[in-house]
């Protein structure tokens, strides 16, 4: 029944909505609509403080709770909310997205509307959009053509975003990414770290190592690697606290051999980055935000060849790109975590890929939204 309803909507209802949307040439409200795919990362929080609006959470965010305190939040897993959602897409002057949104495909936006894609990752690491392996050879989605502005974290990645979305370079806005403003607010980060340590007293007085791997399909999940990962505690010693935070799609996964306090997958991601002394990851774009803190990063890339060739390729050669040591086993990981880190590569990486992020990105986006 659900399939037939979706088919009916795509074939008949949505095209009708598209025709109706031409009325926004006559009526346009000076309001802002936010469409949030990634509520767990609270991408909207920094800009919302400057530019309040109405928020619609996609089905992916069915059980998510935003930091933003407002009663103007609707969930699209409730089908009747789609009526008001489409009306606001048509008549609101500003539409702000943090991921690809098929719903805008059918809307005939007014030239006076701003359709702003904030995206949900900084920099450019793994291929995405029409540049990804699974989209190779495909034409750009028509929804990409609807964007008036795409925000990026530096001029270096601007042409990559234009290519990946199949749009003109003049639609790329190098004003930074609003959510990175948090990492320039030391007072707030200190408060959030203090709250986290009070919740997890095992971390107090320890050098916190945060392991945050990217998402893998089941065929790429290595039980052998993860079953051996618990060795890291004895290899590091009592001065370290090894904790992990999994991708939102894998939050319920439990690593064998770890205590419950080491699984921080349900904590706020940016609070974890604020508290971590060292980041361990593999192919996650989390490195861009963490580089703003100028702290060490170690890359646990045990499946680099298979991941690159079969799942996600990269825009840059991995070995030359990452700002830290690359290891392929648990023993090598422990050794690198204890080594002195060269910060020159991190500083260069931050300047190259995060140069437009200076703590004022949300103010610049606010100015863009406020333009007549």
Q: What topology does CATH give the domain 2-176+358-370? A: Rossmann fold (3.40.50)
The band of 22, judged by pLDDT with boundaries at 50, 70 and 90, is: confident
* Mean pLDDT (whole number) for 251-267: 83
Helix (H) or strand (E) holding 46: helix 45-50
The yes-or-no answer to whether 2-176+358-370 and 183-353 have a common fold is yes
The band of 1, judged by pLDDT with boundaries at 50, 70 and 90, is: very low
Q: Which residue in this structure is represented by tokens 């690593």?
A: 255
Domain residue spans in the chain?
2-176+358-370, 183-353
The least confident of 14-23, 129-138, 198-207, 318-327 is: 129-138
Whether the predicted pLDDT of 3 surpasses 60: no
Quote the pLDDT of residue 260.
86
pLDDT tens-digit readout, 280-339 = 999 999 999 999 999 999 999 998 888 887 767 889 999 999 999 999 999 999 999 998
Instruction: For 59-101, give the DSSP string.
Output: GGGTT---S---S-EEETTSTTHHHHHHHHHHHEEEEEESS--
Helix %, strand %, coil % of the chain (to 5): 45, 15, 40
Whether the predicted pLDDT of 237 surpasses 70: yes
Q: Which residue in this structure is represented by tokens 């059918």?
A: 106
Residues 6+ apart with CB under 8 A from 139: 130, 166
* pTM of the full structure: 0.89
* Mean pLDDT (whole number) for 237-246: 93
DSSP state at residue 215: P
Q: With contact defined as beta carbons under 8 Å apart, do 245 and 264 qualify?
A: yes
Whether the predicted pLDDT of 48 surpasses 80: yes
CATH superfamily, with its number, for domain 183-353: CDP-glycerol glycerophosphotransferase, C-terminal domain (3.40.50.12580)
């Amino acid at each position: 029944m659900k399939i037939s309803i979706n088919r009916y909507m795509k074939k008949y209802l949505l095209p009708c909505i598209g025709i109706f949307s031409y009325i926004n040439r006559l009526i346009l409200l000076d309001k802002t609509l936010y469409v949030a795919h990634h509520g767990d990362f609270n991408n909207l929080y920094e800009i919302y403080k400057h530019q309040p609006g109405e928020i619609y959470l996609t089905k992916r965010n069915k059980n998510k709770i935003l930091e933003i305190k407002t009663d103007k939040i609707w969930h699209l897993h409730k089908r009747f909310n789609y009526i008001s959602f489409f009306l606001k897409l048509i008549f609101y002057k500003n539409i702000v997205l943090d991921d690809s949104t098929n719903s805008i495909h059918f809307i005939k936006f007014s030239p006076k509307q701003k359709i702003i894609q904030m995206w949900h990752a900084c920099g450019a690491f793994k291929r995405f959009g029409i540049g990804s392996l699974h989209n190779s050879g495909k034409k750009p989605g028509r929804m990409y053509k609807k964007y008036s502005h795409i925000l990026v974290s530096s001029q270096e990645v601007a042409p990559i975003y234009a290519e990946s979305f199949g749009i003109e370079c003049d639609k790329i806005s190098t004003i930074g990414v609003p959510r990175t403003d948090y990492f320039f607010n030391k007072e707030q980060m200190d408060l959030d770290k203090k709250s986290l340590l009070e919740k997890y007293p095992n971390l107090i007085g320890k050098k916190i190592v945060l392991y945050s791997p990217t998402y893998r399909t089941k065929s790429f999940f290595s039980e052998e690697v993860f079953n051996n990962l618990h060795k890291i505690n004895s290899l590091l010693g009592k001065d370290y606290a090894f904790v992990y935070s999994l991708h939102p799609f894998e939050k319920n996964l439990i690593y064998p051999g770890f205590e419950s306090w080491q699984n921080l997958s349900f904590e706020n991601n940016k609070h974890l980055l604020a508290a971590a002394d060292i980041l361990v990851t593999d192919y996650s774009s989390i490195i861009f935000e963490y580089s703003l803190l100028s702290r060490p990063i170690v890359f646990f890339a045990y499946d680099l060849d298979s991941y690159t060739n079969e799942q996600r390729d990269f825009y840059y050669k991995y070995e030359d790109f990452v700002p830290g040591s690359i290891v392929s086993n648990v023993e090598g990981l422990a050794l690198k975590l204890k080594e002195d880190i060269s910060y020159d590569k991190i500083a260069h990486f931050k300047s190259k890929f995060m140069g437009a992020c200076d703590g004022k990105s949300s103010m610049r986006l606010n100015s863009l939204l406020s333009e007549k």
